[in-house]
Amino acid sequence: MSFSNKRVIANQCLLVALVLYIISAALIGTYPALGYLKAFAEAAIVGGIADWFAVTALFKHPLGLKIPHTAIIPNSKAKIGKNLSHFIRENFLSEKYVKENLRKIDLHEKGAVLLRANQTSLTNKVNDTIFKYINDIQYKDVEKFIFPLIKTKIDGFDVNVALVKFFEMIDNKNYHHTAFIAILEQLNIWLSNTENETMVNDQIKELIRKDEDGKQTFTGLLKSMFIGEPKLHKYLTDFIEHIKTDPDKKVIERVDNFFGDIIEKMRTDQKVRDSIIDFKNQIIASIPLEYHVETLFHEIKKWLINDFHKVDSFIKKKINDSIDAMITEIETSKTIKRWVKRQIEGRVPAFIAENAELIDNYFVQYLENLDTKQMSSLIEDKVGEDLQYIRINGTVIGGFIGVVLYTATEIISVISRHIIG
C-alpha cells in the first residue's frame, strides 16, 4: 500500500472518530451507555489531531500557521546533515566497525566471481583499448626514445664477446673442421675448370719471376720455366683426401691451433679487439639505421592491425588466454587471497578514517543543496508511510485510552457515591 493510501486511511480514522463523537454526544441523553463511545471518540480525536500535528510539523507549518518549532526538517537541513554524517561516521564508518565487517565478507571471492562473470566484456574492452592505441600511435610519437634506445643498444653491443662465444661454439663442436674441408672442396671444384687452373698457374709463375721489390730476375725466370704447368686440381684433390684419411690428423691439428690463436687474439689482443669494433662501427655508419627503424615500426604496426582483424587473431587469443589465466590465478591462489585481504583490511578502514571530514562535508553539502520541498519530499517518500501509521495508531489507541479513563471515572464515581451515601 502506498504512502498516499496510508494518509487517506489516517484521515478516515479521524473522520470516523468525529462522526462517532457527534452521534454519541447527540444521543447520550437517551442512551447513557453511549458515554463510553463518546469517551472513545473524544480521545481518538485528540490523539489523531495531536499526531497529525506532530507528523505535519516535521515537514511543514500545520495549516500554514508559522507556529514555533514546526517545519522542523526543512528548517534544520544543516543540523540534520551534520548529525547524520556524524552518526554514520561514528557508528558505521568507524575503523573498528569497518574492520569487523570486512573480515566477515570474502571480498576476494566476490571480486573473482565479478571478474569471471564479466570476463567477456573485460576481454573485449582490453582488446579494443590495445587496438585503438596501436592504430593511433605514430612513429613520431615514439621516435624520440625508440631510435636512441636502439642506437644505444647497438653501440653498447660488445661484438668481441659475441664473436669469441661464436668461435668457441664452433671450436667445441668442430664445425671449423667441416668448414675448412668444405672451403678446400669448393676451391678444388673451381680449379677443376681448366681455364681457372691455367689462370692460377700463370699468377704463380708471375710471382716467382719477381723479387720482393716486384722486379723480374733471371733466377726467377729460370724457376718459372722449370715449374711447367702444376696440376693444382689433382694436388688439391690428393691433399683433401689426405686430410680425411690422415690418422695423425696433423693438418687438422694445425687448423685447430690456428683457430685457437684467432680466439685467443680476439680475447686478449687489444689491437685485434679495437679493429673489430672499428669494423662494426664502419658497418653501422654505412647503414641508414633511422630509416630501417622507422620501416620496421610501420611493418610491425601493419602486422598488428591486420592480425587484430583476423577471426583467429593471434594477439586476441593471447590477450584472452592471459586474462583467463589471470582470473583463474585470482580464483585459486591463496597467496593473492591473503594479499587482497591484508590490503583491504589494512587500507580501507584507514582511508575512511583519513577522509572522515570529506564524508561529513558530503552529507552536509548534499542536504544543503536540496531545497525545502525536495528535502521534505525525499524524507516523506522514505518514512512517510510509517509516519501515517503513527496517526492511525494515535487515533485508535487514543480512543481506547479514552474508554479506559471514562470507565475508571465511572468506577470512581460509583465508589464515591457508595462511600458518601
Above 80 in pLDDT, residue 220? Answer: no
pLDDT-derived band at 209, boundaries 50, 70, 90: low
- pLDDT the model gives residue 44: 86
Contact 70, 64 (CB under 8 A): no
In whole angstroms, give the CA distance from residue 395 to residue 164.
104
Backbone angles phi, psi at 4, to 5 degrees: -65, -35
For residues 367 and 320, which has the higher predicted lDDT (pLDDT)?
320
Above 70 in pLDDT, residue 221? Answer: no
- pLDDT the model gives residue 132: 92
- pLDDT the model gives residue 306: 92
Above 60 in pLDDT, residue 171? Answer: yes
pLDDT-derived band at 47, boundaries 50, 70, 90: confident
Return the ∠ at Cα 358 (arms to 353 and 362), rounded to 5°.
Answer: 130
Q: Residues 234-276: pLDDT tens digits? A: 777 887 787 777 776 788 888 888 888 888 888 888 888 888 8
What grid cell was written down for 213?
721489390
What grid cell was written down for 345?
583490511
Helix, strand or coil for residue 71? coil
Among residues of the chain, what percentage have pLDDT more than 90? 5
In whole angstroms, give the CA distance from residue 10 to residue 391.
6
Above 60 in pLDDT, residue 3? Answer: no
- pLDDT the model gives residue 365: 74
- pLDDT the model gives residue 226: 58
pLDDT-derived band at 370, boundaries 50, 70, 90: low
Q: Residues 73-96: pLDDT tens digits? A: 677 666 776 777 777 767 766 677
Q: What pTM was estimated for this model as a whole?
A: 0.43
- pLDDT the model gives residue 375: 65
- pLDDT the model gives residue 218: 65
